Amino acid sequence: MKLNLRRISPLSRSSAGKKAMSVALVGAAVAGASVLTAAPASALSWKCNSSSRTIDDAGYSGPWGDNWDFTVTNCVARSGGYIYSKAKVSWDAPPWYSGTDLSNTFDAAYFRLYVKHADGGADSVLAHKTFYIQDNLAGMNGSGNGSWSTGTAKKYVGKKSAYADGALKLNWNNDGRDLVHYGFKGSGSR
C-alpha cells in the first residue's frame, strides 16, 4: 500500500481537512498493525496426531472387497489466546471405486473438524466446522488412493487448553441408516 502524502500548508488546511487526514493516518496505521500481528498459519508450531481405521462399505454386500482404509491427521497450534486447527484425510479404497462419482456409494460424506477443551468429564466442543468431502473422495487415483486437507480454522479460547479433533460422517448408500460418525484420535493439547 502506497500512501500519497503531499505537503499541505498549515494555513490552508480546514478543520474538516485536518480531521479527514487524522482519520486516514490512523486507519492506515491500524491496517498496517493488523497485518503485522497476524501470524501466518505456516509460521505456527503445529502438534499433530494420526490415527487410522478400516471402514466397511455398509451398503455393499457383493463379492468384491469393499473396505476403505482411512487415516486422519489432526493438528493444533496456539498463538496467544487463539487456537488454530487443521486436518488431513487420506484413504485407500479398493480400486474398483476409482473413476466413479460415488453417488452409488455414499448418500453423503462429510468431515467435521472440532476444537475441544478437555474437561473432567466429557470434553467440551468449543467450535466445529463441517466440510462436504464426497467429491474429494471421488478424486482418488486409479489405485483407490487419495488425500484431502481442510483449511486452517481459528478460534479464540483465551487461556484454556484446547485440541483439534476430527471425524468422518458417512451415509452409505442402501444401508438403511443415516450419517454414521467415525471418530479419530485428536491432536495433543495446546
Q: In the predicted model, what is the mean pLDDT of the chain?
A: 83
Tell whether 188 is covered by a domain.
no
Tell whether 3 is covered by a domain.
no
At residue 64's C-alpha, the angle toward residues 61 and 69, to 5°, is 90
- Tens digits of residue pLDDT in 56-102: 999 999 899 999 999 999 999 999 999 999 999 999 999 999 998 89
Are 113 and 26 in the same domain?
no
Tell whether 2 is covered by a domain.
no
Are 22 and 77 in the same domain?
no
| Residue spans of alpha helices (H) in the chain | 15-37, 134-138
Are 19 and 103 in the same domain?
no
Residue 24 is predicted with a pLDDT of 44
Are 17 and 60 in the same domain?
no
Range of the domain at 168: 42-183
- Tens digits of residue pLDDT in 90-127: 999 999 999 988 999 999 999 999 999 987 777 899 99
Are 159 and 95 in the same domain?
yes
Tell me the three state secondary structure of residue 5. coil
- Tens digits of residue pLDDT in 151-165: 999 999 999 999 999
Are 149 and 59 in the same domain?
yes
* Residue 178 pLDDT class (50, 70, 90 cuts): very high
Q: What is the DSSP letter of 63?
A: S
Are 55 and 136 in the same domain?
yes
* Residue 43 pLDDT class (50, 70, 90 cuts): confident
Q: How many structural domains is the chain composed of?
A: 2
Are 46 and 125 in the same domain?
yes
Are 161 and 79 in the same domain?
yes
* CB atoms closer than 10 angstroms to residue 2: 4
Tell whether 63 is covered by a domain.
yes
Name 127's bridge partners: 115
Residue 140 is predicted with a pLDDT of 96
Q: What is the DSSP letter of 39?
A: P
pTM for the full predicted model? 0.75
Tell whether 1 is covered by a domain.
no
90 grid coordinates: 487420506
Are 34 and 72 in the same domain?
no
